[in-house]
Amino acid sequence: MTRPRDDLIQDLAEDLTPVRSPGRTTGTTFAWLTGAWIFVGAAMLASGSLRPGVGEQILGSARFLLESLLGLAAGAVGIAAALRLGIPRPGAPLGRVAPALALLGLWGALQVYALWDPLLTPSMEGKRAGCWLQTFVFGAPPLAVGLWLARRLAPFARAWTGALLGAVAGALPGLMMQFACMYEPSHNLTHHVAPILALAVLGALLGPRVLRRI
């Protein structure tokens, strides 16, 4: 005789073992940020010095300081959002990454605004040869590590995850290049910001191929 369905469900429920919530990525986020900044900072200094007088420029310009802090915040919020995408939850991914995209977009918008109102006097001082390539190359290893970390999770939106990882990985050397290379708004956009977009596209292409299909 077949057992009543309610009794069967009850027996199965009693055999279930509670599992720890998988929704904690704070430690992973902190580890990535720490390692990525150490790598990018070391690579930047190994390839050349910072722009002469950049410390005085940051402290002497409230706008430069605020813009730099915004870039730091965008990187932190961005990697946190990218890794949280690896925790399956209902809802569209855009809503979960909106704050990170807003910060990254605002930081980029300030670079565009500087075309009309530079925050510093444009100068060739500190110009680095191949700074656009350095920005891309220095961002590639943090992107690879980010994809490896996300692969250990369960991201449904794999292209979104890869794109955000690429944008954040590129934002770190892009921000550092604002301190190391010459200051000229159009140069900043084409040589420091454009590689960030290139890494975001690369991440979007790699995400569906590298991250596990759930």
pTM of this structure: 0.85
User: What contacts 159, CB < 8 A, 6 or more positions away?
Assistant: 204, 207, 208
Residues 6+ apart with CB under 8 A from 21: none
Please report the pLDDT score of residue 23 as a whole number: 59
Residue 23, in any domain of the structure: no
Range of the domain at 139: 29-210
Domain count across the chain: 1
Spatial separation of the C-alpha atoms in residues 63 and 61, rounded to whole Å: 5
Higher pLDDT, 74 or 4: 74
Q: How confident is the model at residue 90 (pLDDT cuts 50, 70, 90)?
A: low
Tell whether 6 is covered by a domain: no
Is position 123 within any domain? yes
Q: Is the pLDDT score of 38 beyond 80? A: yes
- Give the tens place of pLDDT for each residue, 2-14: 556 666 566 555 6
Residue 20 domain-assigned? no
Mean pLDDT of the residues in the chain: 88
Cα gap 126→54, rounded to integer Å: 10
Residues 78-106 have a mean pLDDT of: 84
Structure confidence at residue 22 (pLDDT): 52
φ, ψ at 109 (rounded to 5°): -65, -35
Q: Has residue 68 been placed in a domain? A: yes
The three-state secondary structure class of 123 is strand
Mean pLDDT calculated for residue range 28-51: 95
Residue 213 has pLDDT above 90, yes or no: no
Report H helices in 85-157.
93-113, 131-151
Is 71 within the bounds of a domain?
Answer: yes
pLDDT in tens, 151-176: 988 888 889 999 999 999 999 999 99
Identify the pLDDT of residue 16: 55
Residue 173 within a domain:
yes
**Average pLDDT of 24-51?**
93
Q: Does residue 194 surpass a pLDDT of 50? A: yes
121 in a structural domain: yes
